[in-house]
Structure 1
């Protein structure tokens, strides 16, 4: 389960997209932070934990546009308001922007945050910056994506991504029935534990080993819809008889479906995914995605903020791994896989 794909794509330094966790939209690029009232604030704000002000919590996401990370920011703000914290959110420019996240951590430490919540773009590339922050007395919590090794941070609040992959793979396998899998895989970003765990879990659910002959093609997509569409177009040219598709997330599934539809293969290929966004659940309802595994980013962020506030007040650090839950959403239930329908999914989705 811990096996990681060590290949890292070329990384360029992106500008940081800075926004309050509260914004509720994808936000825009900027060089500073904003106060709870929306006014620009200097980066030399008073240290967190100061009795004269709120506990300052940093949030660093992979990007500021993916609905999953938008939900993290919204939930972090809500938790901050409820627990007496000010949340400053920064993000990489694109999925895979490790250098942007390194700069974000350095920025937040300089601002005097008491804790940093981070969804690492690279589970190994970010370790040095995290160590410097922890050495400076900042508690660091990974959200969604574990570091490698896991104890490089104080704690991790995340989906059990191996389990999520197993759920997706098991549903696809049972849905295929007696058909021999002709499997295509649209992966995310090399070097991330989320990507590795979901990939490995899916194969486990399918009853396949890495390198099995049933795996006909794989492409990295960075979880991006446009990249996924292009990747799927290329894969279908090489594997026109494909009948099963793994996708790292729902944007990748949506992009793949456009390629599948253009090729007239909607009824040929069974698509599984992971996320649980409202758009993704709607795509399950429409039959674009066969099933998706819902995760709960709001719980990750809310619990993370509360843990930092508790640390600021009591000195008690969070530790270990906390599974924030999964549910498979489909209107085509199969034997042996507990699932919820899209009506339940729409009531509990995010984004």
Structure 2
């Protein structure tokens, strides 16, 4: 997730702009259907985590396209950085003050989820994207990747790729000062997919640091440690350097996303330790798929943010106009928008798509 989006997302041509504001470095802009005015029947706000990634750019594009089709007056806001709760909370308060019918959001943390309760109390429909809030019923519906399953898939692929070799693993997580479901679900899913026994599946770093993995041909493993990367290339590089100082024999890097994984690869390459390195990640951004093509990453689990956002706008429109509330499959807390492994090398027993196919659906 590297490509920056515009500082302000512009309204579609021919659309009257109701409000444009800058939220302490975040973004706020309106969009809607051609010919619609600011007094449309349904108004909603999309609040993304940050304006600085292609992932959320794709999400905003999907929401804007759906809003245009349905005639929804859409406002788009963003945190200054991933993890910025204050700006998102202000955007929630603004949506309540404007009288929006709905909020579609990728929450940056627990305080944001608390603020969503005020929106629901004010009568707004709340749809989460990308990450299931904890608890899930703090929102009306969530559209998301099954992050645990995405982690499992990339873990299964990694175990097969190891072909019975010992695994010395560096885990480049998201944060170490807050707990987000996306962080532990991807991490724990990856370890589970490799066939490493978990302790608490909602806690990163409490597994046995050494043991055996049962995925693929099976073998011995050592977890060198968990380090926060903040989902950035620089953060991934620093995290990997820290872990490399603990054990120079790292041969597997798991990254919460592709920038973190790429930064980790750079650290090992600079140390002359990249030969035979298996570097994997989750997201499926175009940069990440290109990293797979060039061999910097060996595989990534691709998700589909555009579909999430389209479904989110559709859900708010349906709820606000008396339609049926969307429901996840029985036993699930969210509607799964899918994931698939993109790899240059097809491995036996692990489903994947080619780099060419990944580039056709990347963001």
Normalising by structure 1, report the TM-score: 0.85
Q: State the Cα distance separating 1:100 from its structure 2 match.
A: 2.1
Change (3 A) 1:65 1:22: farther
- For 2:296 and 2:21, the matched residues in 1 are separated by 33
**Distance change >3 Å, CA 22–CA 89, structure 1 → 2:** farther
Alignment of 1:151-230 (within 5 A): 151-189=137-175, 190-208=178-196, 209=198, 210-213=207-210, 214-230=222-238
3-state SS in 2 of match to 1:34: strand
Where 1:57 maps in the other structure, the secondary structure is strand
Where 1:126 maps in the other structure, the secondary structure is helix
1:138 to 121, 124, 135: 124
2:350 maps to what in 1?
337
1:242-274 CA deviation, whole Å, 9 max, x = no partner? 111110001111211211221122223211111
How many aligned residue pairs are there? 317
Query: 1:79 is matched with which residue?
Result: 66
Q: Name 1:147's counterpart in structure 2.
A: 133
Does 2:264 correspond to 1:256?
A: yes
Among 322, 329, 339, the alignment partner of 2:335 is: 322
**Which shows bigger deviation, 273-282 or 253-262?**
253-262
The correspondence for 1:120, drawn from 104, 107, 110, is 107
Seen in structure 2, the aligned counterparts of structure 1 residues 107 and 19 have a Cα distance that, compared at 3 Å, is farther
**Could you report, residue by residue, the CA deviation over 1:270-327 in whole angstroms, capped at 9, with x for unpaired residues?**
1111111111111100001000001000000001101111112115433441100011
Q: CA deviation at 1:22?
A: 6.7
Matches of 1:20 and 1:152, distance apart in 2: 31
1:18/1:56 Cα in 2 relative to 1: closer, same or farther (>3 Å)?
A: farther
- 307-316 vs 175-184, greater mean Cα deviation: 307-316
Contact 2:285 2:302 in 1 (8 A): yes
In 2, Cα distance between the equivalents of 1:318 and 1:53?
23
Q: Cα 1:141–1:173, aligned 2, differ >3 Å: closer, same or farther?
A: same
Q: Pairwise mapping of residues 258-277 of structure 1 onto structure 2 (< 5 A)?
A: 258-277=266-285
Give the aligned partner of residue 100 of structure 1: 87
Partner of 1:234: 242
For the residues of structure 1 that align with 2:239 and 2:209, how far apart are their CA atoms? 21
Matches of 2:21 and 2:158 in 1, distance apart?
39
**Any idea what SS the aligned residue of 2:100 has?**
coil
User: C-alpha distance in 2, partners of 1:249/1:264?
Assistant: 23
Q: Is the contact between residue 257 and residue 288 of structure 1 (CA under 8 Å) also seen in structure 2? A: yes
Distance 2:28 2:82 in 1: 21
Unaligned regions of 5+ residues in structure 2, if any? 1-6, 14-19, 199-206, 211-221, 329-333
Which residue of the partner structure matches residue 30 of structure 1? 22
- Taking structure 2 as the reference length, the TM-score comes to 0.83
SS at match of 1:314: coil
Q: CA 1:68–1:29 in structure 2 vs 1: closer, same or farther (change >3 Å)?
A: farther
Q: CA deviation at 1:226?
A: 1.1
Q: What CA distance in whole angstroms lies between the structure 1 residues aligned with 2:21 and 2:157?
A: 40
Residues 120, 192 of structure 1: 8 Å contact kept = no
> 1:20, 1:89 within 8 Å by CA — same for their partners in 2?
no
In 2 relative to 1, CA 218–287 (structure 1 residues): closer, same or farther, beyond 3 Å? same
Decide whether aligned partners of structure 1 residues 114 and 18 sit closer, same or farther in structure 2, where only a CA change above 3 A counts: farther
Q: Matches of 1:87 and 1:265 in 2, distance apart?
A: 48
Shift of 1:54: 4.6
How well do the aligned residues superpose, as a CA RMSD in angstroms?
Answer: 2.1
Contact 1:329 1:340 (C-alpha < 8 Å) held by counterparts: yes
| Partner Cα distance (2:144, 2:46) in 1 | 15
- Give the CA deviation at 1:185: 0.2
Question: Unaligned 5+ residue runs, structure 1?
Answer: 1-16, 38-44, 47-51
Superimposed CA distance per residue, residues 3-61 of structure 1 (whole angstroms, 9 cap, x where no aligned partner): xxxxxxxxxxxxxx7645879xxxx9814843449xxxxxxx96xxxxx4252111111
Query: 8 Å contact 2:229–2:239 — kept in the other structure?
Result: yes
